[in-house]
Chain A
């Protein structure tokens, strides 16, 4: 079985991110659980974390993380605490994106993370960082602003995201809090190519699209769109790809079709989440425009992804969030998005092809 394990591991190295790679890693974990040491099983799961989130299956990452966390607690000297906390940070960044978790559950996880940071001597910077995102997603602007202040005030240590990622996150917060110009200022060093990392500037491109359009900086929006089209790929970026799907729907329909055809299966495969809801909103916008004309070309999955189906999925997901959050913020959120899309049509005048 060790042979099989090694063979799987070898093949996983050359696989692109996605479901297939996950399947291989899951089999490895099963083999490690049954025939190898606990340490092997632990490390097999660690490599699964990245693969799962790259495949857009964050819930699988959380599942495997739960196992590692308990093994760590049982024998803290066996495993790297830093590594574990690093991934724990991912977990608190993801968990609220699934409406199936109750507020109580999410708060308890945040609290556990916080207590561990204090106990292990880490700064609470990542805690406030992730928490501000959670608060914003519920429309709690006031509390989020408070949290953002604490985030900027807490010291940076090894657990913080890299500088480029944080700079991007500042932008993300400011945009979400509707402070567009300040946000643009924050991400300027990234757009100028002065800061970058594994996921920056790719992630920044999608952040700035909507603000740029709102600020009526159309030229720059087009330039960013062109660049982003080249670099954003893969199932973990469906929300981002949605942003460009919207944009190209009004500026370059064939490109929009290409994005749709490439990404829709990721959208279908992913579990109900914040990303998926946003992506489906973009898809609905695209399909509405698409169906304004009679067309010969067929889209991928056209039997399943219909406007009626989208309405239903979107309503169900938004409702799930609102019920979880105990408010109706998602309705405001979607109305705002709708308004933006219409503004975009007005700005670019849907060209007749």
Chain B
């Protein structure tokens, strides 16, 4: 047996890593910064004292250099780490608490995205030799010892590839250095000609006190935040702030939290470091112990990650609970602006539910009210699962003095149903619109007898539309009929359509579903005996006229309720209207 090694096409791998791992070419600045800072950290560990610094210098014709005075590399180390993809000087203690930012040994490859060659001059803190390493994207490299003396540290030289010159211009380099390195502890200097500038002078936002943080956020977003919530997670070594947005955000917006790993920007558009319900804040967060993915634009989503996320969510929750007592005005303002977000939160979390639900507004038969207002006068609540059902009953419900809440908007049904958890005396029922009309006042016997033929005729006429008629006396008088369906009616029509259209095999299948799993859902048409038009129609002697009135009541009810009408229903509406027009217009002629 022979043991063999895989053969790797180096150029292919380098191309893959350098051109496909990262989302934009500018990350080479980040990778170089990171190598510099890590080298400085390593030299400090050796016990050296020195003025730690990373210096970036811009030369003519799109050349730049990155110099650090960190630990440097020996020839062995170069061999082992620089020239070996996936090896890293920083990897050994991956699971111990480490001060390094990088760990994968692929960072330097990102330079090949923008440069045809990497030249690296280094002197190790442990040796006196100065070494020059030249690497090419085809996977070849050379090392030579330099005769001249260089100080301890490493310098990387890059020359722009065509099309990437922009990344070697002063303004662009300065922008990228600021973006990634603004808060790094090691001094970072940018030099062009004789002009020198220090990039990282400001204090990181997670170390600012509240007024400073407010001013800082306003400075970068041009919006004054409603407030600042401090974030900490012990297990994740996280410090940060969450600023409450002063405007409403859509549920569908991608969240953009700014996240730093050991003071180096990891991503300014991370969407999942805070729990999904927290979309009314943007976070600026620094962590010491979460693990980045190889592209270093996100974290590995391991157990620690989720534990940290929960802990940060907890910070936001605590803040809100305290705020309700401490500053009720601000609390109300937050609720007002971030309504949708808060609703989502309240559904997910019992504590937040208890805190917020009284402040939330609902559409009810008594107008738009907060839950506190609803509960002031009503302990028995009815809620409709859909907006349509709510519309069907809302006006009448008010006249019946029933508190009906529209549960048709996102989360409202769940929010209302949960309200029994606040107080055992509260009762919540889901309104069955089909039975809704049954509770209206019945007619006395005499009126019933008068109405009966009309109702019988209605039932006969509407049987094909799966609709049954009844008559009651109810307020308000200006509503002639109440048409109620429930959700299954549309499905049932859909099933009938399927049964007719399907092949024999599936027609049978649908028949079983329709007949054995569902009951035929009849819609209800409730005539209002309190309405003069209805009375008039019931008293009519002429069966044709009565028929036309019934058809007109029915089709008008469909129209008013936004229900789709079939061809038969449309024909019915036109025929009945035509009959009245004929009667009216012809009658006028007879009278003349």
Residues on A lying within 8 angstroms of B by beta carbon are 1, 4, 14-16, 19-20, 22-24, 26-27, 29-31, 33-35, 59-60, 62-67, 69-71, 73, 95, 98, 100-101, 105, 108-109, 112, 193, 223, 227, 230, 258, 271-272, 298, 300
Contact = CB atoms under 8 A, between A and B. Distances in A.
Nearest to B306: A230
B557 to A, nearest CB: 16
Contacts of A230: 306
A19 B487 contact: yes
Contacts of B512: 100-101, 105
B509 A62 contact: yes
A105 B508 contact: yes
A30 B566 CA distance: 9
Interface of B: 251-252, 301-303, 306, 350, 385-386, 388, 408, 410-411, 413, 417, 420, 424, 487, 490-491, 493-495, 497-499, 501-503, 505-510, 512-514, 516-517, 562, 564-567
Contact of B498 (A20, A66, A101, A258): A66
11 contacts: A14-B251, A23-B487, A23-B490, A30-B493, A63-B495, A66-B501, A67-B497, A70-B501, A105-B509, A112-B505, A258-B350
A29 B251 CA distance: 26
B462 to A, nearest CB: 18
A142 to B, nearest CB: 28
A70, A95, A227 pick with most chain B CB within 10 angstroms: A70
A71 B501 contact: yes
Q: Is the interface of A mostly helix, strand, loop or mixed?
A: helix
B338 to A, nearest CB: 16
Contact of A33 (B302, B420, B497): B497
Contacts of A16: 410-411
Nearest to B309: A230
| 10 A-B pairs closest in CB distance | A66-B506, A66-B502, A26-B490, A67-B498, A100-B516, A23-B487, A66-B498, A30-B564, A271-B517, A59-B513
Contacts of A109: 505-506, 509
B510 A1 contact: no
Contacts, number: 112
A117 B538 CA distance: 61
A59 B517 contact: yes
Given A22-B487, A23-B490, A227-B303, 10 more contacts: A14-B252, A16-B411, A62-B509, A63-B495, A66-B501, A66-B509, A100-B513, A105-B509, A112-B505, A258-B350
B494 A20 contact: no
Contacts of A31: 564
B362 to A, nearest CB: 15
Contacts of A70: 501-503, 506
Contacts of B505: 108-109, 112
A57 to B, nearest CB: 9
B386 A23 contact: yes
A62 B303 CA distance: 39
A34 B502 contact: no
Contact of B494 (A35, A64, A98, A193): A64
Given A20-B386, A67-B498, A73-B503, A30 B490 contact: yes
Contact of A66 (B410, B507, B517): B507
Contacts of B410: 14-16
Contacts of B564: 1, 4, 27, 30-31, 34-35
Contacts of B513: 59, 62-63, 100
A69 B506 contact: yes
Contacts of B495: 63
A287 B117 CA distance: 70
A60, A66, A67, A95 pick with most chain B CB within 10 angstroms: A66
Contacts of B517: 59, 98, 100, 271-272
Contacts of B388: 23, 27
A301 B410 CA distance: 22
Contact of A60 (B417, B491, B562): B491
